[in-house]
Structure 1
Amino acid sequence: MDIAVDILTTIVAQVQKPTLAFLLGGMILAAAGSKLDVPEPVYKFVVMLLLLKVGIGAGISVRDADLMSLLVPALAAAALGIAIVALGTVTLARMRGVARMDGLATAGLFGAVSASTLAAGMAMLDAEGIAYEGFIAALYPFMDLAALITAIVLARLGAARRIAATASAGGTATLTLGSGTGGTGTGGSGVIGGILTDTLRSPAISALLLGLGLGFFARPDSVYDSFYEPLFRGLLSILMLIMGMEAWARLSEMRKVAHVYLVYGLTAPLIHGALGFAAGLAIHHVTGFSAGGVVLLAVMAASSSDISGPPTLRAAIPEANPSAYVGTSTGLGTPVAILSIPLWMALAEALIGL
């Protein structure tokens, strides 16, 4: 009974937070037939500012970290982001009735990181007096970018295959994609390389990478503290309002497969967190990574992005349904990820000792 009450309390708390509250507000407005509309140029400007803020903050964290100590956990974080998206590609994205773009966007969001969930994990460790590495926050961009870029590349690669299959007369999608300009083998690599290049040049990823570079190589701390940080939550609320209205308009697409997203949203954080914990445990045995660091790597893997992910995926995979990936992530994944934090702490205490 206590567990059920805790879950309900956590879900209610999530609904009251701006991210989900404004998303639901947008859905209510759309359901009521409101004519409220945010012009596309305003939306693009908001997204650019949000992604620059996330990138600059991540770059500052990386700049201030001990790069040698950061290297192995950073590589592990990036690998986890890619692995989580790959896992979602062969599970959720292949479920009957699930649109592949929706499945890939959802997997991308679950592979990326929730800053609020990571902050909750740090707060719990601090309350227990459990130490962890100071560079943990700097792992954020490695897992985040790896997951988002992987999801976007896979989505575009799939779209290219479908276009090639439709355009070819009597051929196969695989042969056409592999030929690129009529050849084989190398042409396929050229197509994949072109998609990766286009992804890195896309507005959303470009803004993230620019912010990351500025935060790392420049000294943008003053403009970050005086401009980006104060505006961030307000701009994010506008973005969530827009996505809520769009999600309602496309909600009917989910009705037949809602149970699939329900199962994924409830189980994926636990599976992903276990992968993160295993990776952290391996790093602990190799480099002496702290038990607190192991817990937080599991928390990062269990979480799903609530800041950088939605605008990036909305811009890069416009075909995907926000009611699928945002609803599953924020409505289900985040509460489960937060509730799982004590589990990772208990495992770390049993296997490492806190």
Structure 2
Amino acid sequence: MNPSIIISNLTNPTLLFFLLGIVAAMIKSDLEIPPQISKFLSLYLLFSIGFKGGMELAHSGLNKEIMLTLGLSIVFSILVPLYTYFILRRKLDVYNAGALAATYGSVSAVTFITATTFLTDKQVPFGGHMVAAMALMESPAIIIGVSLIRWFSNDDTNTNHHSVGSIMKEAFSNGSVLMILGSLVIGIVSDEKQAEGIKPFTSDIFKGFLAVFLLDMGIVAAKRIKAFGKAGWFLTAFGIFIPLINAALAILIAHSLGISDGNAFLLAILAGSASYIAVPAALRLAIPQADPGLYIPMALAITFPFNIVVGIPTYYWLLSVL
């Protein structure tokens, strides 16, 4: 892989603001983001990601390969949190296992963008609908994570609280889930010319708000990093091997179904990445009991750099030998 791509992403201003947050917490600075501002940033990021994904899906239309790819993306976003939750429960409590399961069932937008640059350098074509696949994979993972926590937690002795209907109602009515799903639907049905009017809000200022959000996440994560150290070796291995397994499965299944190499590669990237934008934004609202000092460093400090340096060329190599 071209070293300039790695350097470009590791010096991305949004990621550097995350590091600034860590530094601020380590030197015990009084720098902080007010809670209400943090909540607004979380909702904004969910809104923007969902809306842009809906617009992309509306533009791409539907054919057999697109439908297969979108279907597979949803399947992975459901199955990954389901099976990883039970692996994580060997070391973690219900809340943190559910939060990490949601994190790894979802996706990393920066990893996805890096992968598209890689394909462009290799002159491998891919479909624009993959952006919609990325957006579609956010919500199911959050819903499954929240549902698993509601099902297995002992916070409420009322058995109705643990019924399937109660869990699904709570999961879908949760503000963060409703925001990203609703934004996705609105993006699909919106008139293109009318949607141009809010493009500056959904696109132009996105990275600025993301930078401030990651600054806040850096502060929170650094203050709670000790929790990560308690299960460090287990979680480090999890953050490396689970993405490899998920990506390899995505490549094998996509290839067997006749999905083009470029789209199969991006599906593998989505299946093998972990979210440090949309899911943390949702978890701050939906699962406040979960520790950001676990799920943010896992996604951002382990899985993200692994995918950038090792994962992308490995997944491409695997696809090329099939």
TM-score of the superposed pair, with normalisation by structure 2? 0.90
Is the 1:73–1:283 Cα contact (8 Å) retained in structure 2?
Answer: no
Match of 1:72 in 2: 68
Match of 2:202 in 1: 228
Q: Distance in 1 between matches of 2:100 and 2:311?
A: 20
**Superposed displacement of residue 14, structure 1:** 5.4
Aligned length: 316
Q: Is 1:341–2:312 an aligned residue pair?
A: yes
Q: Distance in 2 between matches of 1:258 and 1:323?
A: 11
| Structure with larger Rg | 1
Q: Is 1:298–2:268 an aligned residue pair?
A: yes
Match of 1:324 in 2: 294
Q: Distance in 2 between matches of 1:128 and 1:36?
A: 43
Is the 1:14–1:331 Cα contact (8 Å) retained in structure 2?
Answer: no
Of 48, 54, 74, which residue of structure 2 is paired with 1:59? Answer: 54
Q: Distance in 1 between matches of 2:113 and 2:10?
A: 18
Larger CA deviation: 139-148 vs 295-304: 139-148
Larger CA deviation: 195-204 vs 246-255: 246-255
Match of 2:80 in 1: 84
Match of 2:169 in 1: 197
Q: Distance in 1 between matches of 2:205 and 2:23?
A: 25
**Superposed displacement of residue 32, structure 1:** 2.2
**Superposed displacement of residue 349, structure 1:** 2.1
Equivalence map 1:140-179=2 (5 Å): 140-159=134-153, 162-164=154-156, 167=157, 177=159
SS of residue in 2 equivalent to 1:163: coil
Q: Is 1:95–2:95 an aligned residue pair?
A: no
Is the 1:19–1:306 Cα contact (8 Å) retained in structure 2?
Answer: no
Q: Quickly say closer, same or farther: Cα 1:208–1:295, change in 2 above 3 A.
A: same
Is the 1:20–1:331 Cα contact (8 Å) retained in structure 2?
Answer: no
Of 18, 33, 57, which residue of structure 2 is paired with 1:38? Answer: 33
Flag structure 1 segments of 5+ consecutive residues without an equivalent. Answer: 168-175, 182-187
What is the one-letter code of the residue matched to 1:347?
A: L
Flag structure 2 segments of 5+ consecutive residues without an equivalent. Answer: none
Q: Distance in 2 between matches of 1:283 and 1:143?
A: 20
Match of 1:214 in 2: 186
TM-score of the superposed pair, with normalisation by structure 1? 0.82
Match of 1:184 in 2: none
Match of 1:251 in 2: 225
Q: Distance in 1 between matches of 2:229 and 2:312?
A: 31
Percent identity reads 25
Q: Distance in 2 between matches of 1:223 and 1:158?
A: 44
